[in-house]
Structure 1
Amino acid sequence: MPFEKFDRSRLEIFPLEQRVHDVDISVVKSLDDPVPPFSHPELPAIARDVVAARREHDATVLMMYGAHVIRTGNGLHMIELMKRGLVTHFATNGAGSIHDYELALIGRTCESVAKYISMGQFGLWTETGRLNDIIKEGVRDGLGWGEAVGRYIWEEKLPNREKSVLGMGYHLGVPCTVHIGVGNDIIHEHPNCDGAAMGEASYTDFLIYAQSVTKLEHGVFLNFGSAVAGPEVYLKALAMARNVARQEGRQIAHFTTAVFDLLEIENGDFSAAPPKSDPRYYFRPWKTILARTVADGGVSHYIRGEHQRTVPALARMILELDSAGK
């Protein structure tokens, strides 16, 4: 007997104009806007490695980020790094793509989970659900999730497309990939969600991501606030890239990783993963990004701070250093 499934046709879906938003487009800061101050003694080393990766080695600089990086207004700083060729690949989760799309479309995003889950309305908004059709159209054209959404944002001339990481990635030809978990995102609630298209689109992005990782030798991997998708996708892609490199007599071992998050790591010692008896063992960025994958010759850094402080601080340092070297 087949198990009973939820009937999505019974859902009531409302337009975004009826939703109360917690964030609007004014949160996005330009390179000239004042931003909260932030400093860390390891930031200059990370900035130098990014510039060296691009200007001396033509290596990958990949920035993985959680959705909060977009909703705290860092898009224009990321786009400037993209324009200057200083970050060669951006990667996020499904929620990161949704915030990017909503800000591009209506200049607002972020609903109150507490308010709308009580009403049974959380995530059920018409315009956001259109992302499912955009992804299906992209799959028909052989595109991954990030490029499909970026193409729509750019070619449909959404009002804030020049502040969209995905839209500008499409426009500039820079890969921006989206790595989902089935059932994780609000658009998976909608009747027009096609599981096959969703999986194909994100898996295409995974293969694009893995190809970028093949050029990580002497490169840099940055992870901003992605505690699950970031380290897990990176780990599998690195295994694939190293497998092929080994067959070709190459190494992918000498590169820099940096994690930007809020967990306090005592004494700054993250060269080895904590023991399994320590709850922090399950903080994947530590054991995966900071310890295990750089054990053969890489360098890692941990920067504790809020994204609205750390992203602008690093981006402006990278841009200043690159300009000084020209």
Structure 2
Amino acid sequence: MMRYEGKFKIFDSSSVRTYPLKDRPSEVSISDLIDENKVIDEAESYSSSDLEGLASKVVEARRQDKPVIVFSGAHIIKNGMGPLLSSLIKKGIISALGVNGAFTIHDFELAYCGKTSESIPNALSEGLFGFAEETNRYINQALVHGNSLLIGYGESMGRLISGEPFPEKAKCMYPEASVQYNAFQKDIPLCVHCAVGTDIYHMTAYFDGEALGGCSGRDFLVFANEISKLENGGVVIVIGSAVIGVEVILKAISMAANVGKPPKGITTASFDIREADLEQASKNNKSAPSYYFRDIKSIVTRIPKAFGGTGYYIKGDHRETLPAFYRSIVRRSV
């Protein structure tokens, strides 16, 4: 348990009870993961000129050895789309990946025991939400060990899922199902950006805020360095991380511009499901709801406008838009 010597009382997390992950009902299993090989030959269920234009920009960028950086939220894993990210990493399409803490939870659980995503409505009233023992123990052990090595969160998790002891070895049943594992194996930066108190492994006595802050803080600097490689162009894509992902990218781009490496001619995109008015957002119309959608305001409009680039908004269910996007990229890469 974290030490505290301030003047207020703190919650005694040592009294929190956990239970075995294998005993928890889960909504997603390893069998729900998409087969990236079958995606190529499937009939189109989604198409748009913007999606095709973005796919073309991605392939062009990689042919010119320019970065393609993706920031993803957790629902891509819960929706079974993780293998698409892993495949694009293995194919050399994605050059760096940013994620939030929830992404690492679901990705780890699938690798560890082949299931993830608990039912919050059913567990919350029983005081059971978020207290799977192995998820809490192993992720925190990885961060404590990673912090002692002065490395980042993503690298710490890559080592954990690859079988390195932290201080005990997590015997993952399905490591290849993990995006974190595949990024680590391919030496692709996977950077994890966290806020304290937002993820389930913060709720037990295993949690060490200094370790989380140290590892995630180093990942932010790794990510900012990857962003600084966009000075001659490239692509940045946000998939369903409409707050943390957007803000991390915005700050990293500002840092790059500050040191003389602005992302000139950048291509940006956001994949999300809600309606948005891009015209009103571009006009900074504060009476329009879309102005307050951070991904629309910053990723799709402000950043490309500031640096002479192009922004896309790909609206739709990730289970339709992402396979279509993957297909378009792979077909263009052949």
Amino acid in structure 1 at the alignment position of 2:206: N
Residue 279 of structure 2: aligned partner: 269
Distance 1:74 1:46 in 2: 19
Deviation sequence 1:136-186 (CA, Å, 0-9, x none): 111122221111111111235622111211001111111111111110000
Residue 193 of structure 1: aligned partner: 207
Contact preservation (8 Å) 1:31, 1:316? no
Following TM superposition, by how much is the alpha carbon of 1:279 offset from its aligned partner in structure 2, in angstroms? 2.8
**Residue 48 of structure 1 pairs with residue 48 of structure 2:** no
Which of 222, 230, 239 is equivalent to 1:224? Answer: 239
Which of 283, 288, 298 is equivalent to 1:278? Answer: 288
Which of 162, 165, 180 is equivalent to 1:154? Answer: 162
Residue 26 of structure 1: aligned partner: 31
**Residue 178 of structure 1 pairs with residue 186 of structure 2:** no
**Residue 240 of structure 1 pairs with residue 255 of structure 2:** yes
**Residue 15 of structure 1 pairs with residue 26 of structure 2:** no
Following TM superposition, by how much is the alpha carbon of 1:49 offset from its aligned partner in structure 2, in angstroms? 0.8
Contact preservation (8 Å) 1:270, 1:291? no
Query: Structure 2, unaligned stretches of length 5 or more?
Result: 1-5, 165-170
Deviation sequence 1:59-114 (CA, Å, 0-9, x none): 21111111001111112111111111111011110000000000000110001111
Judged with a 3 Å threshold, the aligned counterparts in structure 2 of structure 1 residues 273 and 12 are, in CA distance, closer, same or farther, namely farther
Distance 1:163 1:17 in 2: 17
Following TM superposition, by how much is the alpha carbon of 1:270 offset from its aligned partner in structure 2, in angstroms? 6.3
Contact preservation (8 Å) 1:93, 1:179? yes
Identity %: 39
Contact preservation (8 Å) 2:142, 2:160? yes
Judged with a 3 Å threshold, the aligned counterparts in structure 2 of structure 1 residues 54 and 158 are, in CA distance, closer, same or farther, namely same
Which of 272, 297, 301 is equivalent to 2:308? Answer: 297
Following TM superposition, by how much is the alpha carbon of 1:32 offset from its aligned partner in structure 2, in angstroms? 2.6
Query: Structure 1, unaligned stretches of length 5 or more?
Result: none
Output the TM-score relative to the length of structure 1: 0.93
> Aligned Cα RMSD in Å?
1.6
Judged with a 3 Å threshold, the aligned counterparts in structure 2 of structure 1 residues 273 and 60 are, in CA distance, closer, same or farther, namely farther
Distance 2:266 2:308 in 1: 8
Contact preservation (8 Å) 2:276, 2:296? no
Residue 168 of structure 2: aligned partner: none
Q: How many pairs are equivalent?
A: 317
Which of 200, 211, 222 is equivalent to 2:225? Answer: 211
Counterparts of 1:120-139 in structure 2, within 5 Å, are: 120-130=127-137, 131-139=139-147
